[in-house]
Amino acid sequence: MEIWINPACSKCRSAISVLDAEGADYTVRRYLEDVPSADEIRDVLAGLGLEPWDITRTQEAAAKALGLKEWPRDADARERWIAALAEHPKLIQRPIITADDGTALVARTDEAVRDALSR
């Protein structure tokens, strides 16, 4: 199990606390320092069953500078979105847990973290 976190994020710290309390075996990835490649983002999206715009933090300054809210949200634009996430990792929603069964989820609640542990 791997969790992508930003240590400054309260939701990330909460998710780590739940994992620790449950005695989970996991790896922390500080994704702002260890930036995921476009391929890794594609893999996580497949595990999430989501599209890149579904995990994009559109209120971030970089998103506003790029004009992401106006970008198309369709198959033709998918790679453009993935490239933006790889280039600007702060735009990636957090925390993201990749579960042992290959699925992934955005673990913004304690319940979501426990769900990842049950997979």
Alpha carbons 69 and 83: distance in angstroms, whole number: 16
- Res 119 pLDDT > 90: no
CA distances from 34 to 1, 15, 54, 92 (A): 16, 19, 21, 13
Q: How far apart are CA 26 and CA 28, in angstroms?
A: 7
Rounded to two decimals, what is the model's pTM? 0.93
- The kind and range of the H/E element at 10 are helix 10-21
Quick check: 99 pLDDT over 90? no
Encode pLDDT of 41-70 as tens digits: 999 999 999 999 999 999 999 999 999 999
At 2-21, the pLDDT tens digits run 999 999 999 999 999 999 99
- Residues 29, 2 contacting (CB under 8 angstroms): yes
First to last CA, the chain: 10
